Amino acid sequence: MTQKVDKIKEEIKCFHIKTYNDLETFRIKFLGKKKGILTILFKELKKISIYKRKIYGKIINELKKEVQDKIKVFQSKNDIQNDKKLKLDPTIPGRSIEIGSRHPLSLIKKRIIDIFIKIGFSYVDGPEIEDDWHNFTALNIPISHPSREMQDTFFLCKNPDILLRTHTSSVQIRYMKKHCPPFRVLSIGKVYRNETISSRSNFMFHQAEGFYIDKKVSFSDLKQTIHYFIISLFGNAKIRFRPSYFPFTEPSAEVDIYCNNGWLEIMGCGMIDPKVLENVNIDSEIYSGFAFGLGIERLALIIYQIKDIRIYFDNDIRFLKQFKSEF
């Protein structure tokens, strides 16, 4: 038996393991379930006396440990991952990275900015979280005035009232407070109103706001500017001005565009109310100005012939991909 053990020991030691195939042969040779040398010896143990069984059992266990150690040494040297990596075919093309595209609303936003930059407007941003004064009071919408109902508001806190801006007209106030006229300014951003979500309305939409203050700015300047804007965006479109009411403009108008055999309202506008100018310390005897505000989603509906505004925010790649070419 001792001779046998020595021989096995020698065999274990001398077995050359170079590859994972060798390793498997080695494992099967000694520990294979049916014919492994050590497995057979373990089986034979059952046939001998308990006394001898203990002695040989210990010896065979030691041999088994030697086999296992040798396996471990090989594995740690030739990390399985490395071997797998070697099996990779580096000639297979890599996974391609999809190039994204601009969101349709961003495309319209860019078009609007480009149009107004050409006629001397500069672009500014304003905060989406506003206080009551910038969103309402300074714009000639006093507390408990019925016109506040026109824009159902999301309040973040009351007293003092902090809210999600209901329109971008608050940017007029912020800008006019800080700058001296003359100026021509455009701002585009998200506005929030507590409206029922439907194919035509959402609790959030994007608005573009423009305003122009100088000496002797007149309603005809406003009309001409809007006309230039519509023509630049739609080509030769038919538009009309309808009298309307906004607390911060006087006179006020609504602009409609003729499309799909009907008039579609696309923006509000008017001459900035002298009271608003006074609220931001601009002398209304010297200066006058106009302002306009329009919904970007609405415009995009017309431009892209979209029927439901909810699709803009569905994150549906099939929809978004269609605007790739316009990047």
Cβ nearer to ligand PHE, comparing 17 with 300? 300
Q: Which is nearer to ligand PHE, 70 or 184 (CB)?
A: 184
Residue ranges that bind ligand PHE, judged by CB under 6 A: 167, 169, 209, 246, 249, 268-270, 291-293
- Tell how far CA 154 is from the center of its chain: 23
Residue 120 tokens, joined: 């001397």
Which residue's CB is nearer to ligand PHE, number 60 or number 139? 139
Report the nearest approach of ligand PHE to the CB of residue 195 (Å).
12
- The rounded distance, in Å, linking the Cα atoms of 320 and 103 is 7
Closest to ligand PHE by CB, 225 vs 249, is 249
Nearest approach, Cβ of residue 313 and ligand PHE (Å):
20
Shortest distance, CB of residue 181 to ligand PHE, whole angstroms? Answer: 17
Report in angstroms how near the CB of residue 151 gets to ligand PHE at its nearest: 7
* Residues in CB range of 193: below 8 A, 6 or more apart: 151, 152, 153, 154, 166, 203, 204, 205
- Min separation Cβ 273 and ligand PHE, Å: 10
Closer to ligand PHE by Cβ: residue 66 or 195: 195
For residue 108, give every residue at least 6 positions away whose Cβ sits within 8 Å of its Cβ, in sequence order, or none. Answer: 296, 299, 300, 303
Whole-number Å distance between alpha carbons of 315 and 288:
43
Return all residues near 163 (Cβ < 8 A) that are at least 6 apart: 129, 130, 131, 132, 135, 153, 154, 155, 156
Q: Which residue is nearest to ligand PHE (CB)?
A: 293
- Measure the CA–CA gap between 252 and 222, rounded to whole angstroms: 11
Please report how close the Cβ of residue 182 comes to ligand PHE at its closest, in angstroms: 18
Please say which residue, 38 or 252, places its beta carbon nearer to ligand PHE.
252
Q: Which is nearer to ligand PHE, 101 or 244 (CB)?
A: 244
Q: Minimal distance in Å, beta carbon 98 to ligand PHE? A: 37
CB of 326 to ligand PHE, least distance (A): 27
Residue 309 to residue 78: CA distance in whole angstroms: 58
251: three-class secondary structure by DSSP: strand
User: Whose Cβ is closer to ligand PHE: residue 70's or residue 193's?
Assistant: 193
Buried b (16+ CB within 10 A) or exposed e, 99-138: eebeebbebbbeebbebbeeeebeebebeeebbbebbbbb
How far is C-alpha 206 from the chain's CA centre? 16
DSSP string, 291-304: EEEEEHHHHHHHHH
